Amino acid sequence: MATLKEVSMRLKSVQNIGKITKSMKMIASTKVTRAQRNMEVARVFGTAGTAVFKYTETVEPENGKVLAVAVSSDRGLCGGIHSSIAKAVKRYVAANPETQVVVLGDKARNQIIREARSNMQVSFSGVAKGFPTWTESCMIADEILQTGIEYDAVKVFYNKFKSVIAFDTTAVPVFTVAALEASQSAPPPQNRSKSHIHTFIAKLSAYEIGDSVLKNFEEFTFANTLFWTISEGNASEMAAKRTAMENATKNADEMTAKLRLTYNRGRQAAITNELIEIITGASAM
């Protein structure tokens, strides 16, 4: 059985941890509000950019090269939010062994590299240290493009914010100009004389939009999607951290109560034993 000194030291340790987790919960609560506001703005731009692919009914080219981008961060103490991203990417790579992988954040990278080291192309650290910015997303997108990785489509894996207590790990596609053109040459869907992609490309041709503009659109959409998904992931992470720290604080309070009870019982037993010894000694005299 632990001595009173050991119980006392453990009690103080748990109390200190409880104070830390309570402070971290308050900080996360403040940050999650701002992260939600930033996410709502980024979501408008992100969904508008990817709406083009839905409108044109663009699909992944058969036997095309896919680049999987995992959006996480370097921060921990936020539950299994990074593990869910890593698991989703590893499942996709297992089903598609030729997939190339880019990871944002060390937490997911450390898990993915164990099983998909050969697929890993590049990783980024220090992503969204404060809050996600458009400039940072553009720099990340530019660095990925500068690496010369060849791909026909991108799948960005991220945590979609649903509420302060829930998130959904999903993937959003980003296609290249080549994929758009491939969809144009594909036969129209059933029960339609002409698909939206044919109309879309025809409109672009009517305005004499050059290849450079389409290439810029591709790069812009990629950066825009990164900004959106990083913002969603940041809001999900802050909410998960708040929940994790709230649970940790509750556990610390419960442990504190149990340890205090154990300490008081031990102290009372020690005092009782001392009184018995004193009484016994007095009786012997």
What is the pLDDT averaged over residues 200-210?
53
Q: What is the pLDDT of residues 10-38, one digit of tens each?
A: 999 999 999 999 999 999 999 999 999 99
- Residue 193 has a pLDDT of 45
pLDDT in tens, 231-281: 999 999 999 999 999 999 999 999 999 999 999 998 888 888 888 888 887
Give the domain ranges of the chain.
45-178+193-243
- In terms of Cβ atoms closer than 10 Å to its own Cβ (0-12, 13-18, 19+), residue 176 is buried
Mean pLDDT is lowest, of 74-88, 207-221, 255-269, for 207-221
Q: Output the pLDDT for position 273.
A: 86
> What are the tens digits of pLDDT across the range 86-122?
999 999 999 999 999 999 999 999 999 999 999 999 9
| Mean pLDDT in residue range 141-148 | 91
Residues above pLDDT 90, as percent of the chain: 56
Whether 202 shows a pLDDT value over 60: the answer reads: no
**Range from 22-26, 54-58, 201-205 carrying the lowest mean pLDDT:** 201-205
Q: Domain 45-178+193-243, what fold?
A: Pyruvate Kinase; Chain: A, domain 1 (3.40.1380)
Residue 195 has pLDDT above 60, yes or no: no
Q: For the residues 42-65, what does the mean pLDDT come to?
A: 80
